[in-house]
């Protein structure tokens, strides 16, 4: 997987339907059944006369239901519109024929096709063409109500299934139930602990498709909007995996029966597969110790480092083709587009590839921001953002039409995302856009104004130096009166909401409007929402961001409900960790919450062993050598934990090194927050690293027995440096 994937021309081995596609279906009203299609064929392989009949719509839900479509007109064309990325998707110098076909379907067929549902999804096929799956959505209502699920950061990849299969084949099926240090470590690194901690993005998408179909069957969901990073990297087999799971062609999957709109993310542009040894698997719920232990046992490898070979793979040229070629031909031919449903207009935007692939788009005034962005963009990439042409198109499209609701969908949000620290108050903290910039919202502004805005956002706490061009265009659209403007983005893997005041141009963190307050809230303000990742978690969030999606409900010309929902299935065990410092005494408190399925069940009582693995050097002049005393603070009072040194053999077997480490174990009730204090026993200000793991215990036969283990995916620094999880 190290080399960039070789693109083949297999997608054009025979004529195919380019539009409509899986990620950009045609929406057809039950009483007005007409829609266009774009067909491409290698030169000499297809005659336009063959397209005048033979098109068929087959129901996704019930393949026995099909409708014959009449071809009203077939016109040869020069290809996709000027400026369309499809023009570069086929490679240079390829002789191709294009046909524009307009089809009609009889309104009388709608009743049987819909079967009493609000929407029916259809595959579009023709005997001479490769079929276009999930290409037509037949609507049985007039959009008086629209419920959508915004799903960013799916990150499908074949490698997740391989990692899960490899890890579950390691170790014993059940470890010894003893309380010894080695027994505990064996359970923490067992296959059961890996399965409890690992969040497989592929499994998350399969579960979401089932949940979406159930909601659609109850009339509670009309549309799914995928907010970028559909795949983790642009290997053709990964795009094929997304297609197979979404279409129900993979084992154990069912087809998505809800219309799907997509925008690309920076990972959809990326042809370089980060090796799992480098990739931060904390996004999948694993701690680095688990990851490194797995690679040592499964492949005999230590954690690898980035190399010149990796840099060459990242910066390899595209060979004249569009970087999204496979995505455009298989998923969505229009990364920038508009879709109008009732009184709601969607503007879909491509925020581009990773910033270090976009040197040519960085203007001189932005070099300072670019230099700060590149520093951490290797493992935490920022997207380049909107080009000037996209920004102008966005403003023109937002002013066109008679829609009441405007929903902007893009992958990478403003700047590098909200830098929410433990001391911040994200619900009330004003981000302080400077008054000198507010006049630019209503008037045209050049590069200098955009650069000032980027710097202001960076100073106001928008992250660690990201580069996102043309925020000014987004704010000008957000300041529009008479429109309910909602921006939906992903990329940061955490839910947050920014409120933009239309009068004062003030920008602050705030909860999304919901219920009765939503309609009034959108009259005075616009909102930019960051969505929780469906395929990954955000371990830096406080508490840790779990997989989820954003639900938006629109009734007529009002946005009535916006909120984050947990991704199915619910009930997975999880840890919530936050830290705080108590000043002069350099005492650090760690609050740990254990969310365990059935923790409050009377039928099977559960407890939790909090296991703190502390990595620091001993002090010879300190009794026992332990430089930190760990205490639990609770209603029963304060009791010290008794640390136990971990032997050299165990350190090498489980941690892969010989650095000093000890463990402290506390037993208590599961399902509640518990606080632990780390008090230095000497005057040293050296830093210690603390790794947090939990064993869930069941009491079934009069004694506590291990029922599972889970790790917090990050370490906590104690003393000396930052007190945030890293």
| Contact status, residue 708 vs residue 573, Cβ threshold 8 Å | yes
The predicted pLDDT at position 258 comes to 96
The predicted pLDDT at position 210 comes to 95
Residue 85 pLDDT > 60: yes
Structure-token pair, residue 591: 């609050």
Section 537-544 average pLDDT: 69
**CA dist., res. 91 & res. 208, Å (int):** 35
The predicted pLDDT at position 4 comes to 36
Structure-token pair, residue 232: 């983790």
* H helix or E strand, kind and range, residue 475: helix 471-478
SS3 435: helix
Does residue 594 have a cis bond before it (omega within 30 degrees)?
no
* pLDDT band per the 50, 70, 90 thresholds, residue 461: low
Cβ-Cβ contacts under 8 Å for 517 (sequence gap 6 or more): none
Residue 372 pLDDT > 50: yes
**CA dist., res. 440 & res. 453, Å (int):** 10
Section 247-276 average pLDDT: 91
- Better-scored residue on pLDDT, 148 or 361: 148
* pLDDT band per the 50, 70, 90 thresholds, residue 470: confident
**CA dist., res. 212 & res. 230, Å (int):** 17
The predicted pLDDT at position 366 comes to 64
pLDDT in tens, 568-620: 665 566 777 877 776 555 678 888 887 766 544 445 567 888 899 999 888 77
Mean pLDDT lowest among 302-316, 400-414, 436-450: 436-450
pLDDT in tens, 256-266: 999 999 999 98
SS3 393: helix
| Contact status, residue 532 vs residue 492, Cβ threshold 8 Å | no
Burial of residue 595 (CB within 10 Å: 0-12, 13-18, 19+) is middle
Structure-token pair, residue 243: 């297609």
The predicted pLDDT at position 43 comes to 81
Residue 707 pLDDT > 80: no
* pLDDT band per the 50, 70, 90 thresholds, residue 295: confident
* pLDDT band per the 50, 70, 90 thresholds, residue 462: low
The predicted pLDDT at position 498 comes to 86
Q: Which residue has the tokens 């303000």?
A: 525
pLDDT in tens, 618-668: 877 776 788 888 888 876 555 667 888 999 999 998 998 888 999 999 887
User: Across-strand partners of 674?
Assistant: 592
User: Across-strand partners of 41?
Assistant: 97
**CA dist., res. 388 & res. 470, Å (int):** 7
DSSP-assigned letters across all residues of 62-92: -TT-EEEPEEEEEEEESSSPTT-THHHHT-T
| Contact status, residue 86 vs residue 18, Cβ threshold 8 Å | yes
The predicted pLDDT at position 722 comes to 42
* H helix or E strand, kind and range, residue 552: strand 548-555
Whether the predicted model's global pTM rises above the 0.95 cut = no
The predicted pLDDT at position 582 comes to 67
Mean pLDDT lowest among 92-101, 257-266, 297-306: 297-306
- Better-scored residue on pLDDT, 253 or 449: 253
The predicted pLDDT at position 489 comes to 93
Section 70-92 average pLDDT: 82
**CA dist., res. 192 & res. 214, Å (int):** 30
| Contact status, residue 422 vs residue 378, Cβ threshold 8 Å | no
pLDDT in tens, 209-224: 999 999 999 999 999 9
| Contact status, residue 496 vs residue 539, Cβ threshold 8 Å | no
Mean pLDDT lowest among 6-10, 284-288, 368-372, 410-414: 6-10
Cβ-Cβ contacts under 8 Å for 164 (sequence gap 6 or more): 195, 198, 200
Q: Which of 467, 526, 631, 489 is nearest to 151 (CA)?
A: 489
The predicted pLDDT at position 569 comes to 63
DSSP letter, residue 357? G
User: Across-strand partners of 694?
Assistant: 610, 710
The predicted pLDDT at position 27 comes to 94
**CA dist., res. 230 & res. 154, Å (int):** 5
DSSP-assigned letters across all residues of 443-473: S---HHHHHHHHHHHHHTT--SS---BTHHH
Residue 493 pLDDT > 70: yes
The predicted pLDDT at position 507 comes to 80
- Better-scored residue on pLDDT, 664 or 301: 664
Tell me what percent of the residues of the chain surpass a pLDDT of 70. Answer: 78
Does residue 699 have a cis bond before it (omega within 30 degrees)?
no
DSSP letter, residue 531? P
Structure-token pair, residue 400: 């066109």
* H helix or E strand, kind and range, residue 207: helix 201-217
User: Across-strand partners of 577?
Assistant: 592
User: What mean pLDDT, rounded, does the chain reach?
Assistant: 81
Residue 724 pLDDT > 50: no
**CA dist., res. 528 & res. 506, Å (int):** 13
Buried b (16+ CB within 10 A) or exposed e, 382-403: bbbbbbeebbebbbebbeeeeb
- Better-scored residue on pLDDT, 424 or 290: 290
Residue 418 pLDDT > 70: no
**CA dist., res. 71 & res. 67, Å (int):** 13
Structure-token pair, residue 160: 């997740």
Question: Please, what is the angle between helix 201-217 and helix 236-247, to 10°?
Answer: 30
- Residue 566 φ then ψ, to 5°: -70, 145
* pLDDT band per the 50, 70, 90 thresholds, residue 446: low
**CA dist., res. 540 & res. 496, Å (int):** 13
* H helix or E strand, kind and range, residue 293: helix 288-299
Residue 416 pLDDT > 50: no
Structure-token pair, residue 550: 């954003």
The predicted pLDDT at position 172 comes to 58
Structure-token pair, residue 142: 């007039």
Section 293-311 average pLDDT: 76
The predicted pLDDT at position 487 comes to 95
Does residue 415 have a cis bond before it (omega within 30 degrees)?
no
């Amino acid at each position: 997987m190290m080399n960039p994937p070789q693109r083949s021309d297999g997608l054009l081995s025979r004529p195919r339907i380019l539009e409509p596609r899986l990620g950009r279906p045609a929406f057809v009203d039950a009483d007005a059944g007409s829609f266009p299609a774009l067909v491409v064929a290698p030169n000499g392989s297809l005659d336009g006369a063959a397209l005048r009949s033979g098109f068929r719509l087959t129901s996704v839900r019930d393949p026995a239901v099909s409708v014959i479509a009449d071809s009203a007109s077939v016109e040869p064309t020069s290809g996709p519109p000027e400026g369309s990325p499809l023009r570069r998707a086929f490679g240079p110098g390829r002789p191709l024929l294009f046909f524009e076909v307009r089809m009609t379907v009889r309104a009388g067929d709608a009743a049987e096709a819909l079967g009493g549902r609000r929407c029916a999804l259809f595959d579009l096929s023709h005997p001479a063409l490769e079929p276009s799956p999930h290409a037509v959505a037949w609507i049985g209502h007039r959009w008086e109500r629209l419920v959508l699920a915004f799903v960013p950061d799916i990150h499908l990849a074949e490698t997740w299934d391989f990692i899960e299969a490899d890890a579950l084949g390691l170790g014993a099926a059940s470890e010894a139930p003893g309380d010894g240090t080695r027994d505990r470590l064996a359970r923490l690194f067992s296959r059961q602990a890996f399965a409890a901690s690992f969040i497989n993005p592929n499994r998350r998408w399969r579960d979401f498709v089932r949940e979406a179909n159930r909601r659609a069957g109850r009339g509670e969901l009309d549309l799914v909007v995928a907010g970028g990073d559909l795949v983790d990297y642009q290997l053709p087999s990964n795009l094929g995996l997304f297609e197979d799971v979404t279409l129900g062609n993979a084992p154990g999957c069912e087809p998505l029966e809800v219309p799907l709109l997509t925008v690309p993310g920076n990972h959809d542009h990326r042809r370089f597969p980060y090796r799992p040894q480098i990739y931060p698997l904390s996004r999948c719920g694993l701690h680095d110790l688990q990851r490194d232990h797995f690679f040592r046992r499964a492949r005999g490898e230590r954690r690898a480092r980035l190399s010149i070979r990796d840099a060459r793979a990242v910066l390899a040229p595209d060979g004249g083709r569009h970087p999204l070629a496979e995505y455009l031909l298989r998923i969505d031919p229009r990364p920038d587009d508009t879709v109008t449903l009732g009184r709601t207009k969607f503007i879909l935007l491509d925020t581009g590839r990773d910033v270090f692939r976009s040197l040519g788009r960085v203007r001189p005034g932005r070099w300072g921001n670019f230099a700060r962005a590149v520093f951490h963009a290797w493992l935490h990439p920022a997207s380049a953002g909107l080009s000037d042409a996209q920004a102008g198109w966005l403003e023109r499209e937002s002013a066109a039409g008679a829609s009441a609701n405007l929903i902007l969908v893009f992958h990478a949000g403003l700047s590098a995302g909200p830098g929410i620290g433990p001391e911040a108050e994200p619900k009330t903290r004003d981000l302080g856009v400077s008054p000198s910039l507010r006049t630019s919202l209503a008037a045209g502004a050049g590069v200098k104004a955009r650069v000032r805005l980027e710097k202001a956002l960076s100073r106001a706490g928008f992250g660690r130096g990201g580069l996102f061009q043309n925020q000014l265009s987004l704010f000008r659209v957000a300041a529009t009166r008479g429109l309910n403007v909602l921006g939906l983005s992903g990329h940061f893997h955490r839910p947050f909401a920014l409120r933009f005041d239309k009068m004062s141009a003030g920008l602050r963190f705030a909860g999304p409007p919901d219920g009765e307050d939503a309609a009034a809230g959108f009259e005075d303000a616009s909102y930019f929402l960051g969505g929780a990742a469906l395929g990954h978690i955000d371990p830096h969030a406080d508490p840790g961001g779990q997989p989820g999606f954003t639900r938006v409900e629109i009734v007529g010309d009002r946005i009535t409900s916006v909120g984050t929902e947990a991704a199915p299935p619910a009930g997975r065990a999880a840890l919530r960790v936050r830290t705080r410092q108590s000043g002069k005494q350099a005492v650090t408190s760690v609050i740990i919450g254990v969310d365990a399925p059935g923790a409050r069940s009377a039928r099977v009582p559960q407890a939790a062993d909090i296991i703190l693995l502390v990595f620091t050097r001993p002090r010879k002049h300190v009794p026992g050598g332990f430089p930190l005393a760990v205490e639990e603070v609770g209603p029963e009072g304060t009791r010290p934990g008794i640390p136990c040194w971990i032997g050299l053999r165990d350190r090498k077997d489980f941690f892969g090194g010989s650095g000093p480490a000890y463990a402290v174990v506390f037993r208590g009730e599961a399902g509640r927050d518990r606080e632990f204090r780390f008090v230095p026993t000497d005057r040293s200000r050296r830093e210690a690293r603390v790794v947090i793991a939990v064993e869930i215990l069941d009491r079934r036969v009069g004694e506590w027995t291990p029922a599972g283990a889970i790790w917090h995916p990050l370490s906590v620094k104690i003393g000396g440096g930052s007190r945030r999880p890293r």
